[in-house]
Structure 1
């Protein structure tokens, strides 16, 4: 019997959090090997574990997978969260990429220079309410189904709901005019595996604070 997937990253959200969400939603238990010092990262590089010298890295099914989207696609395929045919997968990929575009803006916000942060937040809010959330609301309205693609839970739904939590952290009012998205968020959040992941004490990571940002900069040698 294969062991649990092992996730190699620092103890924060970053580019691993969407992988944690997807595994948790699939009901998969996983272990985490936290990178706590720059030397931990150096060791992974020197022993050949990181194909492109960077994390996230996930050990799963005898492989050491890197590149976030490759990991997500493997997990989604393995646990039947990737549609039933090529057309559904194309839609799932398209929606997931849209989620990633906005998610990356929010994820990188802590790295924004203080004198630019207010402008960056305003830009993110504008794109959230005028570009991204209306597009996803329109998809749900167009077919009237519970999930984005094929009326079945997919990685696109999980990624989108994760994003909606981050949008709420930024400004809860941003979701006010999107009732179908709020419904999707409630629906996915109430799935037993996701509900468990959302409970205190789970492997879900909190928002990036100043202390965690400094830890990440030290580990990854970010100036």
Structure 2
């Protein structure tokens, strides 16, 4: 019997958080190995575990997979969260790429100055409410189903839900003009595996604080 997936990253969100979300949504338990120092990172590099000397890295099914998109697509395909055919898979890719764009803007906030952070938040909210959320609102309305693709839970739904929650941390009423997304959020919140991940004590990570950012900067010579 294969062991639990093992996630190698620092003890924070970053690009690993979406991987945690997808595993949790699939009902898969996982272990985490937190990098605390520059030496921890260098050891992974020197051992050949990081092909491009980048995190995240996940040990799963006898492989050490790097590159976030590769990790996510592997997990999605393995756990039937990647559509039933080529057309559905393509739609999932499209919707995921959109949320990845918005998510990247949010992740980069941790490295901004106070002034830069305020400008970045304003840009994120503007892009979310005028570009990205209207697109997903239309998809859900036109599709007329509970989920984005094929009326079954997919990687696209999990990633959109995560993105919504992270954007709401910046502006709590960001969904006020999007009734379809509000209903979508409620449905997703009540899926048992996701509901469990939302509870206190789960492996879901909080927003990064100054201490974590300082540790990351030191670890990667930033």
User: 1:1-223 maps to which residues of 2 (within 5 A)?
Assistant: 1-222=1-222
For 1:80 and 1:112, locate their aligned partners in 2 and report how far apart those are by CA, in whole Å. Answer: 37
TM-score, length of structure 1 as denominator length:
0.98
Cα offset for 1:115? 2.5
For 1:44 and 1:111, locate their aligned partners in 2 and report how far apart those are by CA, in whole Å. Answer: 24
Could you tell me which runs of 5 or more consecutive residues in structure 1 were left unpaired when the two chains were aligned.
Answer: none
Q: Secondary structure at the match of 1:172?
A: coil
* Count of aligned pairs between the two proteins: 222
More off after superposition, 167-176 vs 18-27:
167-176
For 2:173 and 2:152, locate their aligned partners in 1 and report how far apart those are by CA, in whole Å. Answer: 28
For 2:37 and 2:118, locate their aligned partners in 1 and report how far apart those are by CA, in whole Å. Answer: 32
For 1:121 and 1:5, locate their aligned partners in 2 and report how far apart those are by CA, in whole Å. Answer: 34
Cα offset for 1:14? 0.3
Could you tell me which runs of 5 or more consecutive residues in structure 2 were left unpaired when the two chains were aligned.
Answer: none
Per-residue Cα deviation, 1:123-168 (whole angstroms, up to 9, x for no partner): 1111110000000000000011000000010000000000010011
Aligned-pair Cα RMSD in Å: 0.8
Q: Secondary structure at the match of 1:94?
A: helix
Runs of 4+ deviating beyond 6 Å = none
